[in-house]
Amino acid sequence: MKSLKYSVFALFAAAMTCMLGSCKQDLGQNPPFDYPQEGTSGVELPDPLYHSAFDGDLFLDGTLKGTMSTYTGESPLFTTGQAGEAYQNQDGEALILTPDASAMETLKALGSYSIFMWIKFDGTNTAATNLFSIGNTAVEVGELSFFIDTGNASNPSLFFFKGYMKSTGDAKQPEVWFDAGDDAKVDGLANRWVHVGLTYDVAYDDGTNEVASSTITLYVNGGAICSRELKKSGDVPFGPLNFNEISGICLGAFPSQVGLGSGTGWTATATFFTGAMDEFAFYNVALTAAQANALYESSK
């Protein structure tokens, strides 16, 4: 899993940097980290906004700056990944990613996006559990959430992937749920490493430059398992994501559970993610099917 597309290059660059001083401090400074642009399949991959390998720390790299810490302030726990280490989340804990001021402005005009990570879920959750959210202090679920729900299934290893988006920067403040039912169902998810991801692709009409479609696609282990056209109303595509406020990003809990959102609704009964996370990557573009597969293959 640790052989992400730029892993060999990153090790070489890090080694050279360490000869000159602190590796992680220098990697976060200008000039920005120069990511190689091909995965193992030769497919070109974009630079992530944020990425963490979770190799014994919460260090972030990517094109945006920010810091990551645990919600409680306790030292993070790590466990064995498929190769190297992975972050181990537990009940009552989550990760908080705090973008710097410049990154906040970039994220407010997110538009399209992709979220990918490896997870090893212990399967004990009895309610929805969040994997990734962009928080807003006035929005309970967050402005963007990617989460797992049991769907009240009797099989503890059967889970449904779901999503929610609310474009608060839009005057009409549209919101939409990605609830693909059985199409987004993954059996045997518990207690094994699974690469999961979500892409949201806003396509424009070349002639008018108006939004032609808004497509959200769910990936598991490098392959798309379901895709949906999302609408704002009627036949109007949902369009690019724009936010009027960002309180932060969290992994492993909904924003309202960790002080990044408000409300006492259904997320109050949600559970914290109990399991391991690895190779988290967040983009402000929608990866193509070939890119999603290349990312999976190169991060195994």
> What is the DSSP track for 86-151?
EEEE-TT--EEEEE-HHHHHHHHT-BSEEEEEEEEE----SS-EEEEEEEETTEEEEEEEEEEE-T
> Which of 246, 199, 221 has the alpha carbon at shortest distance from 64?
246
Fold of 7-298: Jelly Rolls (2.60.120)
pLDDT value, residue 14: 40
pLDDT value, residue 153: 59
> Which of 236, 240, 218, 208 has the alpha carbon at shortest distance from 162?
218
User: Can you tell me the mean pLDDT for 20-42?
Assistant: 42
pLDDT value, residue 151: 64
Rounded CA gap, 83 and 181, in Å?
33
| Contact (CB, 8 A) for 3 and 300 | yes
pLDDT value, residue 58: 97
User: Can you tell me the mean pLDDT for 139-152?
Assistant: 85
Instruction: Check pLDDT > 80 for residue 1.
Output: no
pLDDT value, residue 155: 64
Considering only CA atoms, give the Rg of the chain.
18
Residue 123 — left, alpha, or beta (φ > 0 → left; ψ -120 to 50 → alpha)?
Answer: left
**pLDDT tens across 52-111, in order?**
999 999 999 999 999 999 999 999 999 999 778 999 999 999 999 999 999 999 999 999
Domain boundaries, the chain: 7-298
pTM of the entire predicted model: 0.85
**pLDDT tens across 206-262, in order?**
888 899 999 999 999 999 999 999 998 889 999 999 999 999 999 999 999 999 998
pLDDT value, residue 218: 94
**pLDDT tens across 87-100, in order?**
999 999 999 999 99
Which residue did the predictor score with more confidence, 188 or 162?
A: 162
| Contact (CB, 8 A) for 78 and 86 | yes
Q: pLDDT band at 187, cuts 50/70/90?
A: confident
